[in-house]
Amino acid sequence: MSYSTSVQELIDQLGRLPGIGPKSAQRVAFHLLKVPTEDALRLAQAITEAKERVSFCARCFNLSEGGEECQICSDPRRESRMLCVVEDSQDIVAVERTQEFRGRYHVLQGAFSPIDGIGVEQLRIKELMTRVGEEDVDEVIIATNPNLEGEATASLLVKYLEPMGIRVTRIASGLPVGGDLEYADELTLGRALEGRKTLAEGNSLER
Amino acid sequence: MSYSTSVQELIDQLGRLPGIGPKSAQRVAFHLLKVPTEDALRLAQAITEAKERVSFCARCFNLSEGGEECQICSDPRRESRMLCVVEDSQDIVAVERTQEFRGRYHVLQGAFSPIDGIGVEQLRIKELMTRVGEEDVDEVIIATNPNLEGEATASLLVKYLEPMGIRVTRIASGLPVGGDLEYADELTLGRALEGRKTLAEGNSLER
């Protein structure tokens, strides 16, 4: 016995989601078949509605619901001199949670990874260049992930932004707060050493 | 910034699926927002259609598409003397894959677990009793999972079925084929020893 058509179709569609393997897809499908119809349809409805209502911000490519520009771009209280460049919309939520940044964002919609077919063309770099040229930007903070693709993206952006004469910064890498030196990997610890901060200047003549 | 209403609703609905935590729900939601609309809607459609077309078999409680009885129950070539009792519909697919069983099934729709609110009433035990009484069943094979809940369910079923004078069997526990003694847990190895099969009788007088 194999699964009937609609069950198989449901398993297939679920299996296409990221992080959901064939086994999980099967489990989720059977869960959906078991729960009351209204509960299952609420998910179907949520997908349909989100696709109808949510689009990408015309300026920064963040998600935007009900409007051409997103909440942040259309907020006049946000500083326009600082631009934080992130890979994805969910990274904006992470940065916002810190409450340390009051500027605007630019979402690249991915990271440079030629192997996966993501080159300069696939990222919103051209749009970033246009914004830096047109808007009154003093500093671009590159907040791509501190992994291979994110670092490659950062190097790439520096190459594009340097000639424009603006300040380009990169978020710090180092040990996470609450972390433990003993369990830190050597790359992270190396970065933490490299990016060390001066706490006292020592007995230099200038002081 | 928090997520907009429809994004949050999508994350919430995805987060209610089994095995999908808040982080995965967020990842899947952003994936769905990113892919072409038709791809996302295909999933919504698959859920809706599956819920419309698939119901539970009136006889064995397996999934059934387009009919009161499932594929297996309505197949006259299946032996009705053997009944394999499983916890869920997906277990039927696993048993069918072995091609070792030509009888019929009965799906309990769960396993005995009072802590989770699943008692005798929640399982399809009454319906199993009725079937054993009405159909011409010689043997009931209990194929619930070899874990705490599955074993408890098996003991419970034995208690109910024993007075009916039919043969009740339990699938074997032991080392998986291709497994390694060294890495087997003690419970499994204990079961493997307990359920050992005779390969040669030795020089007994009977032979």
Which two three-digit tokens encode residue B67?
A: 């009919």
Residues of chain A neighbouring B91 (CB-CB closer than 8 A) = none
Q: What is the pLDDT of residues A162-192, one digit of tens each?
A: 998 899 999 988 888 888 888 888 888 888 8
- A190 min Cα distance to partner chain B (Å): 29
Residues of chain A neighbouring B48 (CB-CB closer than 8 A) = 41, 44
- The answer to whether A46 contacts chain B (CB < 8 Å) is yes
Tell me if B139 sits within 8 A of B83, measured CB to CB.
Answer: yes
- The answer to whether B75 contacts chain A (CB < 8 Å) is no
- The answer to whether A13 contacts chain B (CB < 8 Å) is yes
> Which pLDDT does position B57 carry in this prediction?
93
C-alpha dist (Å) from residue A93 to A101, B10, B185? 11, 16, 44
Q: What is the pLDDT of residues B103-157, one digit of tens each?
A: 999 999 999 999 999 999 999 999 999 999 999 899 999 999 989 999 999 999 9
Q: What is the pLDDT of residues A101-158, one digit of tens each?
A: 999 999 999 999 999 999 999 999 999 999 999 998 999 999 999 889 999 999 999 9
> Which pLDDT does position A203 carry in this prediction?
66
SS3 B124: coil
- A98 min Cα distance to partner chain B (Å): 11
Adjacent-strand bridge partners of B140:
B83, B168
Q: What is the pLDDT of residues B54-103, one digit of tens each?
A: 999 999 999 998 788 998 999 999 998 999 999 999 899 889 888 889 99
> Which pLDDT does position A61 carry in this prediction?
94
Q: Which comes out higher in pLDDT, residue B206 or A51? A: A51
Which two three-digit tokens encode residue A35?
A: 């729960």
- The answer to whether B153 contacts chain A (CB < 8 Å) is no
Asked whether the predicted pLDDT for residue A25 surpasses 50, the reply is yes
Residue type at position B119: G
> Which pLDDT does position B59 carry in this prediction?
93
Q: Which CATH number fits domain A76-206: 3.40.1360.10, 3.40.50.150, 3.30.1700.10, 3.40.50.880?
A: 3.40.1360.10
- The answer to whether B74 contacts chain A (CB < 8 Å) is no
- A207 min Cα distance to partner chain B (Å): 43
- The answer to whether B169 contacts chain A (CB < 8 Å) is no
- The answer to whether B129 contacts chain A (CB < 8 Å) is no
pTM greater than 0.80: no
d(CA B176, CA B96): 18
Cβ within 8 Å, pair B4-A71: yes
- ipTM attached to this prediction: 0.72
SS3 A54: strand
HSE-CB of B94 using CA atoms within 13 angstroms: 13
Which two three-digit tokens encode residue A140?
A: 């671009």
Residue with tokens 């993206």: A153
d(CA A199, CA A46): 51
HSE-CB of A163 using CA atoms within 13 angstroms: 4
* Mean per-residue pLDDT, B177-203: 80
Nearest CA in chain B to A67: B4
Q: What is the pLDDT of residues A49-75, one digit of tens each?
A: 999 999 999 999 999 987 889 989 999
Parse chain B into domains and list their residue ranges.
76-206
> Which pLDDT does position B187 carry in this prediction?
83
> Which pLDDT does position A1 carry in this prediction?
54
Q: Smallest Cβ distance to A30: which of B45, B53, B89?
A: B89
Reported confidence tier of residue A207, pLDDT bands at 50, 70, 90: very low
